Copies of this chain bind each other. A is one copy, B any other.
Amino acid sequence: MTTIKDIAERCSVSVSTVSRVLNDHPDVSSTVRERVLKVIDEVHYVPNSSARDLVKSQSDDIGLVVRGMGNFFFAEMIPTIETAIAKAGYTLLTHQINSEDDELRAGAELVRSKKLKGLILLGGCFDYGKEQIAVLDVPFVCCSFGNSFGKLKETQYSSVTIDDQLEARRAVEYLIAHGHRKIAILLDSTCDSSISELRYLGYCQALKVAGIPLDEELVQETGNFSMEASYDGMKQLLNRRDDFTAVFVIADTMAMAAMRALYEGGKRVPDDCSVIAIDGISMSAYFVPTLTTLVQPKREMGEESVRILIDMIEKRSKNRHVILPTEVRSGESVRRMK
């Protein structure tokens, strides 16, 4: 096997120069850098860090626990997180779990077995207690969720989120501003201590402020966040009522499935029913009609999560919380009432 010494000999430079090139240090001339990189390429050299890993009590690894397999919104965030982690000089281990699984336990196992330096949780429960997070003995950041239904102090965890309740309120107010008053909502559950419950509260608030009484028959629960359940939920809603002129669906993927159910039920979007959502996944911009949605700042959320985590790992700062705004992407799925 080729070693770093072989590379140095072939390039007629010192081992430490090769090492500097490998670690991308600035104090190497571009001529030397190119010569070294060329040889590395020729001999298919791969840096060997296992020996170093063996004697270290911790690795340079950061774990990412992704809760909700096949979640397109998360899938679009992972590359940003991976790039930011690499830029900071760490490597990322990704672990996907089902949305019913316990992300804290999964994270804790990963931390112990891989000697991780820190953890990013992409998706999780909003109701952690002190005992629950005690299993984590490294810095961690909750990305895309906070502790709205739990009892943690702000100093006990970090988070990067949008203000789910406020943004949901904005989405519904967007419909009201377009003249809608009979507004349905399609959501996982009104009381699941999750993003769904928060967005439901925003829906109720928008109606209340506008003086529109809550009509419980227009609240359709789906039981989970899948496209399938959303499609079925919209069919149920259509069987029960057909007098609503707009629907707020709490997530883009759910909205796309709901639009299919509306189409099959003979309701044209937006002519017969307007649709608005929150998330802003890339695919919803190609739907016919394109989806009007409040776009979460995916890139900033990923980068900010990494920044907070690295700052904690490198002892530059303590737990902190960042709330970022969404941006309305006006599509073709909402019409103005006359």
Query: Of B44, B48, B49, B75, which contacts A75 at CB under 8 A?
Result: B75
Q: Which residues 126-158 of A have a CB within 8 angstroms of B?
A: 131-132, 134-135
In the complex, whether A113 has a CB less than 8 A from a CB of chain B is yes
Q: Give A108's nearest chain B residue, CB to CB.
A: B46
Contact between A286 and B50 (Cβ–Cβ < 8 Å)? no
In the complex, whether A306 has a CB less than 8 A from a CB of chain B is no
Query: Of B95, B105, B134, B135, which contacts A94 at CB under 8 A?
Result: B95
Write the nearest CB–CB distance from A234 to chain B, whole angstroms.
11
Contact between B96 and A94 (Cβ–Cβ < 8 Å)? yes
Contacts A283-B253, A286-B260, A288-B259 given; does A91 touch B113 at CB 8 Å: yes
Which residues on the B side are within 8 Å of A286 (C-beta)?
Answer: 227, 231, 256-257, 259-260
Query: Of B47, B79, B131, B260, which contacts A112 at CB under 8 A?
Result: B47
Write the nearest CB–CB distance from A151 to chain B, whole angstroms.
17
Interface residues on A, range: 35 or more
Query: Of B44, B70, B112, B263, which contacts A49 at CB under 8 A?
Result: B112
Contact between B283 and A135 (Cβ–Cβ < 8 Å)? no
Q: Which residues 42-72 of A have a CB within 8 angstroms of B?
A: 44, 46-50, 53-54, 69-70, 72
In the complex, whether A33 has a CB less than 8 A from a CB of chain B is no
Write the nearest CB–CB distance from A194 to chain B, whole angstroms.
20
Bound together, the chains give a CA A260 to CA B50 distance in angstroms of 49
In the complex, whether A9 has a CB less than 8 A from a CB of chain B is no
Q: Give A109's nearest chain B residue, CB to CB.
A: B46
Which residues on the B side are within 8 Å of A95 (C-beta)?
Answer: 92, 94
Contact between B283 and A227 (Cβ–Cβ < 8 Å)? yes
In the complex, whether A78 has a CB less than 8 A from a CB of chain B is yes
Q: Give A45's nearest chain B residue, CB to CB.
A: B135
Contact between A113 and B53 (Cβ–Cβ < 8 Å)? yes
Query: Of B75, B105, B113, B256, which contacts A72 at CB under 8 A?
Result: B75
Q: Give A58's nearest chain B residue, CB to CB.
A: B50
A-B contact pairs, 16 of them (CB 8 A): A44-B132, A46-B105, A47-B109, A47-B112, A53-B113, A69-B79, A70-B75, A70-B79, A72-B75, A92-B95, A93-B93, A94-B96, A227-B282, A231-B286, A260-B287, A260-B288
In addition to A47-B112, A69-B78, A92-B95, 11 A-B residue pairs with Cβ atoms within 8 Å of each other are A46-B105, A48-B113, A50-B112, A50-B113, A72-B72, A79-B96, A227-B283, A227-B286, A253-B283, A260-B288, A283-B283
Listed in ascending order, the chain A residues whose CB lies under 8 Å from chain B are: 44, 46-50, 53-54, 69-70, 72, 75-76, 78-79, 82, 91-96, 98, 105, 108-109, 112-115, 131-132, 134-135, 227, 231, 253, 256-257, 259-260, 263, 282-283, 286-288, 290
